[in-house]
Structure 1
Amino acid sequence: MNLLSVLPLAVVMVAGPQLIAAIFLASSRTAKRSSLAYLTGAALAVVVALTIWYVVFRAVRHTGDGTGGDRTRHLIDWVVLVVLLMLMVLVYARRKHSQPPKWMGRLEEARPGFAFGLGLLLFAAMPSDQATMLSVAASLAGHDRPWWHLLPFTVLTLVLLSLPLLALLVLGQRALAVLPRIRDWANAHSWLVSEAVILIFLALVVADLFK
């Protein structure tokens, strides 16, 4: 398992209310400042959670060094496999929630401070994101990859999350006509994209277990 294997899971990180919130904020009165604050909160939550999971599974991995290191690595792979299966079930169960919560409509009036807290909360408290970050950190730690390999995954997550803001910067006011269509498409199809990405990573984990 390597860095390139876990990068696609960044799509799962932002699919759902995380990207929808970013779209609403990009349409707000303080779009640029609120979007940047939202990204900052998200970055903090992702880095902290990934680091915690990495330290936990790195400690587990080193527990088996010299006394069955391969068994420990495979045990971590089994944990990741179970978590990925649970994540697939969770994403599938949420597929019918095609409409954003009513409170998201109020994000167009959100201030940067609220946007920062929202970014922090959405990524720290969402079970699907925690399961994804656990899978990424456990896979890298279990295969003795260095901590900094988490950073490209974090950066890609933030790049995907910043797409509404980038659209606003590139298209200007024309983005206000494009963003609602992106939001509607994400509402309807993001779960399918997430399931496909999880399934690919699941296959990689299975292949690693039985090679």
Structure 2
Amino acid sequence: MDGLNILPLAVTMMVGPQIMSAVIFVTAPHAVRVSLGFLAGVACATLAGVAVMFGIATLLGSAVDTGDPSDNGSVGHIIQYVLVALLVIAALKNWFGRATAEPPKWLATLMTASPRKAFTVGLLVISLMPSDLMVMLTVGVNLEQSGAGYAAALPFVGLTVLVAALPLFLLLLLGSRADTVMPRVRDWMNTHSWLVNIIACLIFVVLILV
């Protein structure tokens, strides 16, 4: 995909409750099976989400000329600038609310999740998170502007799933030490959820503007 660094975009897809969910699943009973269910949900949601956003971008491109990717005044770039403004607002909101910030309460229910529930969580944390919808819309707009087909987004989808799988890889790599390390990672992310969200917003802003 021209103009997109897909690895940082994939990282942005998973920063926030998304990666926190993945970390919680590797500290739950039957961690491997549950984590695989989560990864399957992430893969399906990302494939479908990019397809929908590509379709929207294509329809928009048919109705309004989104312009050339090199034209900073094109409609496609204006859409991206609007996304930047929304992300800056979200980052500021997280910063000013950091003193009282808490992770979503539903994260606490994931410790007892079954593989089926983990699959559903994987679907929802991608499909319903505004930051992920923004990322996938950016991918769709870029595909439409560059005249590429849907297949050009598959590396992005694959890298998103790979990033989601990092906690599982770490679990398998650490072996018995994971029983100590992964709960600490989980607890840190729970107490610093506001920082994780700000990082996600800022990474995406940089990707759009560079």
Q: What's the TM-score once normalised by structure 2's chain length?
A: 0.83
2:28 is matched with 28
**Quick one: percent identity of the two aligned structures?**
31
1:187 and 2:200 matched: no
Aligned with residue 146 of structure 1, among 142, 145, 149:
149
Classify 1:69/1:80 alpha carbon distance in 2 versus 1 (closer, same or farther; 3 Å).
closer
Moved more, 43-52 or 91-100: 91-100
- In the alignment, residue 99 of structure 1 is paired with which amino acid? E
1:114 and 2:117 matched: yes
1:58-77 matches, within 5 Å, as 58-63=58-63, 70=68, 74-77=74-77
- Give 5+ residue unaligned stretches, structure 2: none
Q: How many residues align?
A: 201
2:81 is matched with 81
Whether the 8 Å CA contact 2:26–2:168 is kept in 1: the answer is yes
2:94 is matched with 94
Question: 1:187-210: per-residue Cα shift (whole Å, max 9, x none)?
Answer: 363234323322322323xxxxxx
Question: 1:41-85: per-residue Cα shift (whole Å, max 9, x none)?
Answer: 1111111011111122123334567xx9548x9212211221232
1:127-142 matches, within 5 Å, as 127-142=130-145
Following superposition, the deviation at residue 134 of structure 1 comes to: 0.8
Moved more, 146-155 or 114-123: 146-155
2:176 is matched with 173
Q: Distance in 1 between matches of 2:8 and 2:86?
A: 18
2:19 is matched with 19
- RMSD, matched Cα: 2.5
1:41-56 matches, within 5 Å, as 41-56=41-56
1:208 is matched with none
Following superposition, the deviation at residue 98 of structure 1 comes to: 4.8
Classify 1:32/1:98 alpha carbon distance in 2 versus 1 (closer, same or farther; 3 Å).
farther
Following superposition, the deviation at residue 100 of structure 1 comes to: 2.4
Q: Distance in 1 between matches of 2:130 and 2:64?
A: 29
Question: 1:62-115: per-residue Cα shift (whole Å, max 9, x none)?
Answer: 4567xx9548x9212211221232123224423527532333223121111111
Whether the 8 Å CA contact 1:40–1:116 is kept in 2: the answer is yes
Moved more, 180-189 or 111-120: 180-189
Classify 1:111/1:144 alpha carbon distance in 2 versus 1 (closer, same or farther; 3 Å).
same
Q: Distance in 2 between matches of 1:174 and 1:29?
A: 16
1:164 and 2:170 matched: no
Following superposition, the deviation at residue 162 of structure 1 comes to: 0.9
Query: SS state of the match for residue 5, structure 2?
Result: helix
- In the alignment, residue 209 of structure 2 is paired with which amino acid? A
Q: What's the TM-score once normalised by structure 1's chain length?
A: 0.83
Q: Distance in 1 between matches of 2:184 and 2:88?
A: 26
- Give 5+ residue unaligned stretches, structure 1: 205-211
Whether the 8 Å CA contact 2:131–2:201 is kept in 1: the answer is no
Moved more, 37-46 or 82-91: 82-91
Q: Distance in 1 between matches of 2:115 and 2:82?
A: 38
